[in-house]
Structure 1
């Protein structure tokens, strides 16, 4: 049963969610909620009902009874799917929900509770660059990302609200927007990377033997998830190479600006192994290449534009060194 004070609180909350609560009344709502944990829970439950009502963005008055019915029906219909959060009809409300949490809930019930209230309504976003193509995207926090061919990243719709965390399989070049309060993180099974604002290239194809990080600007810290060791810090023009099998993680100097030339449709081989070059050509041209065992360990240097060059042009250039030959047979290029 609602008391008069709850009725007054309902009015304040509903007016705030409708976007027409004045500053004096908002302050009264905060003071009312701070008086007890029960009141804090009450404010949170009202916001949850609003999330389920679908009322945001419309001029329809908030109906708590109907909202509660919708809330229960949504709860009953939710089914977890392979570690993914289910997409819900109100995902477009993320920006408004964030404002509600930051202005009302965070000062009242603590950041972690507010974070949970937001994140339970977010699903994962998956972006892929298919073989033979590259793509560029802007993340919600302003970070710019270029994805190389055959790359896949996953991040939450709430990216930038309480965390800036993503996973990647493949290769990406990142220009990270600076945010002192929320670090930018990349999490993989082998290595975790954390920064505040920087430019770096991250390569982590599942079928490659090595994971590499080239730092162009700023500073990054790397945590080894395979082998216990101290965190590794990179400065500009330094490179980390991790052996995916052994977990060995080493740092060396490099010309990091060459690591992201692929975003300009260029292939750059800096004494790379022929196996690695073959994989990069397969991704860039969406072809099949097989390297003979006798050529494993051979390394080559060169720079090529993808546009205007066929895979045969590049293989011809490598073959001109007289260290290998190739033929096309049964739908694939065979290097021998």
Structure 2
């Protein structure tokens, strides 16, 4: 059984999963993702809406608690309850009231826009890689502006790009070597022919026995990409209850899967296999991020926007459709976000306004 966004945002167990309050619910939905990797996009959309509604409700509660003449505030003061009590006890009742309304499509869209436009907290240094050992059944996340290096129980090395999430199956290294990815990661897979390594992303899977490859699968990008650097990998596509081998990639090949449009749920073009793109003799563009390089090759600004948001922990809005389709070729490494934008302005002119972590680009 799969769920819609409307069903998820009013599900108590899914709400607990989003707020990380109950280990049982976290395990339940992690297991659901392993069984239904095609639901990654729906899960991420729903999670953002739940957290957005939670933020608005908490903000409303804080405003209420600050109003001395509020009847509800007076009731809690009279009963001797603290601010912590206000946040603990009324939450389920108020959440139910809000999520009943949230089931309406209009409020879902409004809440999603509200959350995406909130200023984000500053992340740690861009290259602040850490190296934890990740056990079976665990989830590892990297924040915007952060790379994270992890080692799986089989000694496979994974480098997560900014704003990524990796889920390791509970039976990893014993029954299987399955992981689910939202975001981008470079995999250096330990060899084990008897137990294939499988990466689940939205709409397809990658199977390897021991090799090195990069997977880019952000839910807000137009395409998902898998780039092979060493060895061989198989691209698996779902067909009924089974998977079929769609392509076997060779070194320096990239599989490109158009993601389904959020409204039509249909892909605009068919998946394809293309050659990796090299910036120079030793650096391909697909893995340049590992070396903190930003390399754009004839890319439209509305695609560059997503990359800049993840790298610099900012929210960017492009207010002009013509500007969104401007294409740029450029390379950056140590530049800050203002230096990057000013450099892009030199090729195709645009204006922008910045307020803390919110940037608006217009003609």
TM-score (norm 2): 0.56
| CA shift digits 1:96-126 (9 cap, x unpaired) | xxxxxxxxxxxxxxxxxxxxxxxxxx96200
CA RMSD of aligned residues (A): 2.5
2-structure distance, mates of 1:329, 1:293: 21
Deviation of 1:226 (Å): 8.3
Match 1:320 to one of 346, 356, 360: 346
SS in 2 for 1:333: strand
SS in 2 for 1:124: coil
Matched, 1:234 2:249: yes
SS in 2 for 1:315: helix
Deviation of 1:297 (Å): 2.9
Deviation of 1:320 (Å): 0.8
Deviation of 1:315 (Å): 0.6
The structure with the larger Rg is 1
| Aligned positions of 1:1-336 closer than 5 A | 82-84=28-30, 124-225=137-238, 231-245=246-260, 246-247=266-267, 248-255=270-277, 257-291=284-318, 292-305=320-333, 308-328=334-354, 332-336=358-362
2-structure distance, mates of 1:213, 1:201: 6
The 3 A distance-change label for structure 1 pair 225 and 271 is farther
SS in 2 for 1:215: strand
2-structure distance, mates of 1:128, 1:212: 20
2-structure distance, mates of 1:330, 1:143: 39
Deviation of 1:269 (Å): 1.4
Checking the alignment, whether the CA contact within 8 Å between 2:181 and 2:201 is kept in structure 1 is yes
Deviation of 1:128 (Å): 0.3
2-structure distance, mates of 1:143, 1:132: 23
Deviation of 1:202 (Å): 0.3
Deviation of 1:196 (Å): 1.1
2-structure distance, mates of 1:273, 1:286: 20
Unpaired runs of 5+ residues, structure 1, are 1-77, 86-121
Please name the residue that 2:115 is paired with.
none
Deviation of 1:275 (Å): 1.2
| CA shift digits 1:30-59 (9 cap, x unpaired) | xxxxxxxxxxxxxxxxxxxxxxxxxxxxxx
